């Protein structure tokens, strides 16, 4: 009876989320499908290598994390959280994950780049 139960999809996402936000990119990538697509602000990341590089680039900037809300419905999971960096502790991020066979196959990642990056000049 293969199926993606709600708890399995949620488990997959929470394991992924806890791993990368604690700096363990390898463990996070164990929960990601090879052909993952991540729709990130300003760019689409296609494939596991591109997604890994993106997360590995941001993870070191994290100084803390505050969770805001978690939703799970069938094969989809949504997270709202506040990634804390030297620039901001109050700008939220939202992610909508699609899970298949206990792996993340799609992520729609939403955050405001202006809130996280230092202004590049007035």
For binding to a copy of itself (CB under 8 A), which residues are involved? Answer: 39, 41-42, 68-69, 71-73, 76, 78, 80, 90-94, 96, 108, 110-115
C-alpha distances out from residue 51 to 3, 33, 67, 122, Å = 25, 10, 22, 31
Q: Which is nearer to a copy of itself, 29 or 93 (CB)?
A: 93
Q: Which is nearer to a copy of itself, 28 or 93 (CB)?
A: 93
34: exposed, middle or buried (C-beta count within 10 Å: 0-12, 13-18, 19+)?
Answer: exposed
Contact 25, 59 (CB under 8 A): yes
Q: Which is nearer to a copy of itself, 68 or 86 (CB)?
A: 68
For the bound state, the minimum distance from the C-beta of residue 1 to a copy of itself, rounded and expressed in Å, comes to: 25
For the bound state, the minimum distance from the C-beta of residue 94 to a copy of itself, rounded and expressed in Å, comes to: 3
For the bound state, the minimum distance from the C-beta of residue 90 to a copy of itself, rounded and expressed in Å, comes to: 8
Q: Which is nearer to a copy of itself, 1 or 44 (CB)?
A: 44
**Pick from 119, 121, 3, 6: nearest CA to 70:** 6
**Pick from 31, 47, 42: nearest CA to 97:** 31
Token pair recorded at residue 60: 């070191």
Contact 54, 66 (CB under 8 A): no
For the bound state, the minimum distance from the C-beta of residue 77 to a copy of itself, rounded and expressed in Å, comes to: 9
């Amino acid at each position: 009876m293969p199926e993606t139960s709600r708890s399995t999809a949620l488990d997959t996402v929470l394991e992924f989320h806890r791993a990368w936000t604690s700096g363990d990119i390898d463990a996070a990538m164990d929960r990601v499908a090879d052909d993952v697509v991540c729709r990130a602000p300003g760019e689409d990341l296609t494939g596991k290598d591109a997604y890994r590089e993106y997360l590995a680039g941001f993870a070191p900037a994290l100084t803390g994390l505050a969770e805001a809300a978690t939703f799970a419905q069938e094969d989809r999971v949504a997270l709202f959280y506040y990634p804390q960096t030297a620039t901001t502790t109050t700008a939220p991020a939202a992610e909508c994950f699609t899970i298949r066979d206990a792996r993340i196959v799609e992520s729609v990642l939403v955050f405001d780049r202006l809130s996280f990056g230092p202004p590049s000049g007035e």
